[in-house]
Structure 1
Amino acid sequence: MAPPHGNDTDISGYESRHSRRAVLAGVAAVGALAAAGCTRVATASTSNGGDLLQRLRAQGVVRLGIAGEIPFGYIDRNGRLTGEAPKLAEAVFKRLGVDQVQPVPTEFGSLIPGLNSQQFDVVAAGMYVTPERCQQVIFADPDYQMLDSFVVRKGNPKGLHSYRDVVAKKAKFATGTGYAQIQHAVEAGYRQSDILIVPDQVAGLNAVEAGRVDVFAGTAVTVRDVVRKSAKTEATKPFAPLVGGRPQVDGGAFAFRSAETRLRDAFNVELRKLKKSGELLRILRPFGFTQAEMTDLTAKELCGGGKSG
């Protein structure tokens, strides 16, 4: 997954809560408020697992790096922070003795640099755990797992159910800037230079509806949600893309600075309690997540031998 950003802003004719302009307006407003406060956090201790948890408890607020992507972490039309990751952060950090969360909006590609340069305390953006990212930050265990899905025209006239189908049938293919689905398509043999890159799922939906592409690829939850009000398109059944020749199920998680193992471990303890009680699904369900997206995957598994803390 990745946040909505890029140059293709063709979202006319689709007025919904997914309006990119509304999301960005909210991000700008909240970003200004964040900037008016403190744009950086104090430098963390690098010994004994870090001291960020203690400092967050003392100040009573945790700064969340978000990327303005529905449904993972965004500002709604009323200027309120919402999304699966911020709502989960509220629940976990309250249990950890930190009562408030404050959003720090940024581009998706700036989340890890922003975290490591002390601009916020944690990344709360539904970020996929990958070996490459595990070399730069440490992750909590995933709070969700995710398959891919396609937006296609009603009836799926080209019969597109996998990236191999897209390649074999020479379908016109689109996905979002920085999305994991770019690499999934390339792994199947699709030329990266032929991929139409759009800013988000709304622009992808519009591209399919207008016939500019045959298929838009995204996460199952975003695709499910974006086609709800479309009479011209449908979502394909979720599927696991092939990575290295094997089906891969991705997982999204909170990211922390490498030194802050104490905070990461405490977060994991509370996350496991929420999973066991079923509270996690209750928190995520309003954002389109189902029982199928609940997971026992660990960060260590998804880091694939990379640094997991």
Structure 2
Amino acid sequence: MAPPQGNNPRSTGSTGSGLRRRSLLAGAAALGAVGAMGATSACSRVATADIGDGGTLLDQLRAKKTVRLGLAGEQPYSYIGKDGEMTGSAPTIAKRIFKELGVENVQPFATEFASLITGLNSLQFDVVAAGMYINPERCEQVIFADPEYQMLDAFLVRKGNPKNLHTYKDIARSGAKMATGAGYAEIAYAEEAGVKNVTTLPDQLAGLLAVEQGRVDVFVGTAVTVRNVVEETETTKAEATDEVTPLVDGKPVIDVGAFAFRTPETNLRDAFNRELHKLKRSGELLEIMRPFGFGKDQMTTITAKEKCKP
């Protein structure tokens, strides 16, 4: 999901924020390359299981010693770093858990966020490792592990927040131009608040460029994502707001993110859950996620079952 490379003076320097920005762009370009490689290996797809038997995918992955992870190129959840290697909170968790499950190797498969569920169910990869939010609509298409984190939103706005945007209602009342990622839950939250002018962009870096250049007034994403892109690029033209709590039917929502599996593969999901809960109880999960911008406030005991309820 390479973002547009706008006419930005920081993109030509050799130090400071320009270097960081080029690193992010390089990572995005690498993501596309990995996706292309993943597509060429689709002939080695693992067949899904018959519904009702819990699935045999875990046994197949152990025999192959490799699991393919669906990534979406969103920092800090899953992306290709400037060194061309897969990184992010979700792939790092996956490496740890699958090693415990007897699967030594993890292989990235890059795609757009909105294509993750389709790619999973068409056997392009084995697991969605992209910090995907759990909601009832998605629960009809895949099964989720229990979430590894909880998250509120934040806004990316021009320096000084000239339109005074702190809630989705503020965006609606001001008539501000809003952008977010394709397939993001934030689209529904904006619609709930009455926001009329919503466009989608490939990722948070594209959102930053659009805000800096005045093409949109606000880019909306998860709080960690928005804070990280401001810190990584050292932008002087934009800033992150405080955390924003979305509302659905007038009630506050705290989103949670988790790994997703094909519906028949409950054996794999349950085994993954067991290892995940061990990491939670020991505190190791937080230590794994902390380098990617997560803290104690993002740790959660909410279950997938709770979030899948209509």
Shared topology, TM-score over 0.5? yes
Opposite residue 198 of structure 1, the aligned amino acid is: L
Partner of 1:268: 273
Displacement of 1:277 in angstroms is 1.1
Name which of structure 1's ranges 202-211 and 139-148 shifts more when overlaid on structure 2.
Answer: 202-211
Displacement of 1:19 in angstroms is 5.4
Name which of structure 1's ranges 181-190 and 149-158 shifts more when overlaid on structure 2.
Answer: 149-158
Partner of 2:245: 240
3-state SS in 1 of match to 2:74: coil
The equivalences for 1:169-248 within 5 A come to 169-191=174-196, 194-228=197-231, 229-248=234-253
CA contact (8 A) 1:40 1:119 kept: no
Displacement of 1:85 in angstroms is 0.7
How many angstroms apart in 2 are the aligned matches of 1:11 and 1:60? 45
Write 1 or 2 for the structure with the bigger share of helix: 2
How many angstroms apart in 2 are the aligned matches of 1:258 and 1:162? 36
How many angstroms apart in 2 are the aligned matches of 1:43 and 1:242? 40
Closer, same or farther in 2 for the Cα pair 1:54/1:215, shift >3 Å? same
- Equivalent pairs counted in the alignment come to 299
Opposite residue 210 of structure 2, the aligned amino acid is: A
Partner of 1:10: 6
Closer, same or farther in 2 for the Cα pair 1:116/1:21, shift >3 Å? same
Displacement of 1:176 in angstroms is 2.4
Q: Does 2:29 correspond to 1:25?
A: yes
1:197-232 CA deviation, whole Å, 9 max, x = no partner? 332212222222233333221110111111121122
3-state SS in 2 of match to 1:22: helix
Name which of structure 1's ranges 163-172 and 234-243 shifts more when overlaid on structure 2.
Answer: 163-172
CA contact (8 A) 1:9 1:199 kept: no
How many angstroms apart in 1 are the aligned matches of 2:121 and 2:7? 34
Closer, same or farther in 2 for the Cα pair 1:276/1:154, shift >3 Å? same
TM-score, scaled relative to structure 1: 0.89
1:70-128 CA deviation, whole Å, 9 max, x = no partner? 22111112211111111100011111111110111122222112211212111111111
CA contact (8 A) 1:64 1:124 kept: yes
Closer, same or farther in 2 for the Cα pair 1:28/1:73, shift >3 Å? same
Partner of 1:76: 81
Partner of 2:45: 41
How many angstroms apart in 2 are the aligned matches of 1:214 and 1:42? 44
Displacement of 1:40 in angstroms is 3.8
How many angstroms apart in 2 are the aligned matches of 1:210 and 1:142? 36
Opposite residue 225 of structure 1, the aligned amino acid is: N
Name which of structure 1's ranges 227-236 and 242-251 shifts more when overlaid on structure 2.
Answer: 227-236
How many angstroms apart in 2 are the aligned matches of 1:115 and 1:41? 11
CA contact (8 A) 1:65 1:105 kept: yes
1:213-270 CA deviation, whole Å, 9 max, x = no partner? 3322111011111112112222111121001211111111111011110110111111
How many angstroms apart in 1 are the aligned matches of 2:28 and 2:207? 18
Partner of 2:15: none
Partner of 2:262: 257
Q: Does 2:270 correspond to 1:299?
A: no
How many angstroms apart in 2 are the aligned matches of 1:17 and 1:73? 18
Closer, same or farther in 2 for the Cα pair 1:76/1:204, shift >3 Å? same
CA contact (8 A) 1:11 1:203 kept: no
How many angstroms apart in 1 are the aligned matches of 2:174 and 2:77? 32
Structure 1 residues not aligned, in runs of 5+: none
TM-score, scaled relative to structure 2: 0.89
Partner of 2:167: 162
Closer, same or farther in 2 for the Cα pair 1:288/1:172, shift >3 Å? same
Structure 2 residues not aligned, in runs of 5+: 12-17
Displacement of 1:69 in angstroms is 1.8
* Residue identity (%): 58
CA contact (8 A) 1:18 1:202 kept: no
Task: Give the RMSD, CA atoms, in angstroms.
Answer: 2.1
Name which of structure 1's ranges 154-163 and 288-297 shifts more when overlaid on structure 2.
Answer: 154-163
The equivalences for 1:41-120 within 5 A come to 41-46=45-50, 47-120=52-125
How many angstroms apart in 1 are the aligned matches of 2:308 and 2:39? 33
CA contact (8 A) 2:279 2:285 kept: yes
How many angstroms apart in 1 are the aligned matches of 2:21 and 2:131? 19
How many angstroms apart in 1 are the aligned matches of 2:77 and 2:180? 17
